[in-house]
Structure formats: structure tokens, C-alpha cells
Homo-oligomer: A and B are copies of this chain.
């Protein structure tokens, strides 16, 4: 039995609230159990130097965590004067995941930055950030279509992410903090609704794991992201109808 009483293949309760960041072109406050991430997409009509004049756009991401999002207060990275390796790793992952489903040529010379800020942390913040960031990105792109900047949505797919891990209960889906901090292994899967793999990051926290164990995690990830794709789609539909 998992500490939370969930079945091995059960996500935590998930909800996505749009519009929380009032000034952003698209925003999503995603909650996965006790984890809460505010994703805000900002549009700029210029691209970074290395892309100038290449007729394509760019999508990037930044990640942060409020100092008291966690059980005990952490350092404020702005006060310390640098972002940790973990922070940089996560924001690079979010950005790659979003770019994998964006048609940068169709976007044209536009940059979109998605800020993912963790307001409350209870495990799985990078996965929640990716799932929420896709919603924020999609809303920002829809705004660009609505206001005539773009003719069509420059999106090639729908992306979501979930963590899975090997715990005393075996392979389980969507680790919370308690499970994450004691798991023998955990893996983050960034998958698309179209069945593709965008990113896999599997890590043995203690001893190496086997290929069979890894495949079990992959199957759970398919189950979990299927549910996340449904929730993302429902969120988008609700906004669009409004």
C-alpha cells in the first residue's frame, strides 16, 4: 500500500486553472496533489541573437521555486546569486519538451518564454511544470492566432510528463515527495498524445535497475500521461468555449 493510499497506477488529483497570471499571454496553475506550479507564457516579437534572420521562432523556459515551497525553507536563488545545477537542468528539460512539439518555422520570428514557478512542492515539480507549460504555451499561441499574428497554431503535438519510480510497493506512478525521497529509482517520461517519446530520464538512486523494471515504469507513464492529455484537452476546450 502506498503512503497516500493510491493504487500503483493512480495519479494524484490533478487540476489546471488558467488565467492566474493576469498579464501573461497564456497561463496555467497546475496542481498535482500537493504540488502547485504556476506556468506563464510570455510572447516577444523577436528572437535570440543566434536565430536572427533565420525566419524561425524560439520557445524557452525558466524554472524557479519559491523559498518556502518546500518542507524546510530553501535559499532564494536570486539572493545566492546563481541558479543551482538542478534548476538549470529542469528549465532546459521543460524548454526541450515544448520545442519538440512546436513548429518553430511556422512560429516565425517570435519568442515564447514559459516561466514555471513552483508555489508548493510535493514531488514531481518538473513533470507538473511541463504539463502545465504546454497549456500555457497553447493558450499563448491561440491568442496569436486570434489576433491575426499567426494564421494557424504552430503546434505539432500535445506533450505531458509524469514521474514513475521503484518503491517498496514496486513500480508506481506519480511519486509524491515521500515516495520520491526513498525510491530506489525514478524516471521522468515526457510523452506526446500522439504516442511519441520526447524525453526519458531514468536514474538509479541506489542500486542499478533492470530493463524489465524500466519497462514497467514506461507502461505506468503511458497510463498516467493518457489521463494528463485528457485533462489538458478539457482545460483548453473550456477556455476556448468561454
Q: Please give the residue numbers on chain A whose beta carbons come within 8 Å of chain B beta carbons, in ascending order.
A: 20-24, 27, 34, 38, 40, 42, 44, 62, 64, 66-73, 76-89, 91-92, 96, 100-101, 113, 115, 117, 119-121, 156-157, 187, 191-192, 194-204, 206-211, 214, 218
Q: Which residues of B contact A196 (CB under 8 A)?
A: 204, 207-210
Residues of chain B with a CB closer than 8 A to A91's CB = 85
Q: A197–B201 contact, CB under 8 A?
A: no
Interface of A is mostly: mixed
Known contacts A22-B120, A200-B202, A201-B201; 11 additional CB pairs below 8 A are A21-B68, A23-B72, A23-B121, A40-B67, A66-B117, A73-B113, A100-B208, A196-B208, A197-B214, A198-B204, A200-B200
Q: Which residues of chain B are near A23, meaning CB under 8 Å?
A: 68-72, 120-121
Min C-beta distance of A56 to chain B, whole Å: 13
Q: Which residue of B lies closest to A192 (CB)?
A: B208
A and B contact pairs by CB, cutoff 8 A, 19 listed: A21-B119, A23-B121, A64-B66, A66-B117, A67-B113, A78-B78, A78-B82, A83-B85, A85-B85, A85-B91, A88-B89, A89-B89, A100-B207, A192-B208, A194-B208, A196-B210, A199-B204, A200-B214, A201-B202
**For residue A81, which residues in chain B have a CB less than 8 angstroms away from its CB?**
81-82
Q: Which chain B positions have C-beta within 8 A of A209?
A: 196-197
Q: In the complex, which residues of chain B have a beta carbon less than 8 angstroms from the beta carbon of A24?
A: 68
The contact of A211 among B69, B77, B121, B218, by CB within 8 Å, is B218
B192–A197 CB distance below 8 A: no
Chain B, residue nearest A121 (CB): B23
Contact residue among B62, B120, B197, B204 (Cβ-Cβ distance under 8 Å from A210): B197
Cβ-defined contact, B197 with A204, below 8 A? yes
For A204, the chain B residues whose CB sits under 8 A away are 96, 100, 196-199
Q: Which residues of B contact A85 (CB under 8 A)?
A: 83, 85, 88-89, 91-92
User: Closest Cβ of chain B: how far from A43's Cβ, in Å?
Assistant: 9
CB within 8 Å for A76 and B88 given contacts A120-B22, A203-B96: no
